[in-house]
Amino acid sequence: FCGKEIYIVAAGPSLDKNFLQLKDMPDRENKIIFATGTVFKKLIRAGIKPDYIIISEANERVVAQMTEYFDESIPLILLSTSAWKLYELYQGPKYMVYQYEFTLAEKAAEEEGRKLYMTGGSVSTTALDVAIRLGARKIVFLGLDLAYTDGVAHCYDTSRRDYIDSGETIMVQGYDGKEVAT
């Protein structure tokens, strides 16, 4: 990570508009594709092999994000509270990150002499803190909408695409000047 451009790839709806640009990035040896678990299969199916995958979700449904690829050589970065089944099943390299403001994680990190990372309640926020703390030169986000772009929750070919209006959203101006729910 140190001194490199890090491309954090999240599952927001806008990812469908630009993720294929990751295939032919120039100067690839100085760039790292850091994918969230939700977009891992989407990238692999498109012929894009991320350099790292990060998962923070504790729910075991995230195991399905990795099935078919448990023997991959892509390093997996797992939050200490993520689904334990992934630690057992994934055959590639694994790294654990411990989060601030979770007492058991803070205690384990102290006992093991490990760093603590900010999570902000999102896998993308965790990825951002990992990239910063490991010395990234530049960080670029793809698919980090934080909104229901085009009225959907996630990009195509990932989990939970449909947006269900719970009445708890607000409208804000999007990057394109149009109103978007968030």
| pTM of the predicted model as reported, rounded to 2 decimal places | 0.90
According to the model, what pLDDT value does residue 133 have? 93
Which residue stretches of the chain have pLDDT < 50?
Answer: none
According to the model, what pLDDT value does residue 126 have? 95
According to the model, what pLDDT value does residue 24 have? 87
Q: What is the DSSP string of the chain?
A: -TTSEEEEE---GGGGGTGGGGTT-TTGGGEEEEEEHHHHHHHHHTT---SEEEE---SGGGHHHHTT-TT--S-EEEETTS-HHHHHH--S-EEEEEETT-HHHHHHHHHHT--EE--TTSHHHHHHHHHHHTT-SEEEEES--SS-GGGBSS-TTSS--B----S---EEE-TTSSEEE-
Question: CA 36 to CA 127: how far, in whole Å?
Answer: 8
According to the model, what pLDDT value does residue 163 have? 66
Do residues 156 and 41 touch, judged by C-beta distance below 8 A? no
Beta bridge partner(s), residue 99: 117
**What's the pLDDT tens digit per position in 49-79?**
999 999 998 888 888 777 777 778 899 999 9
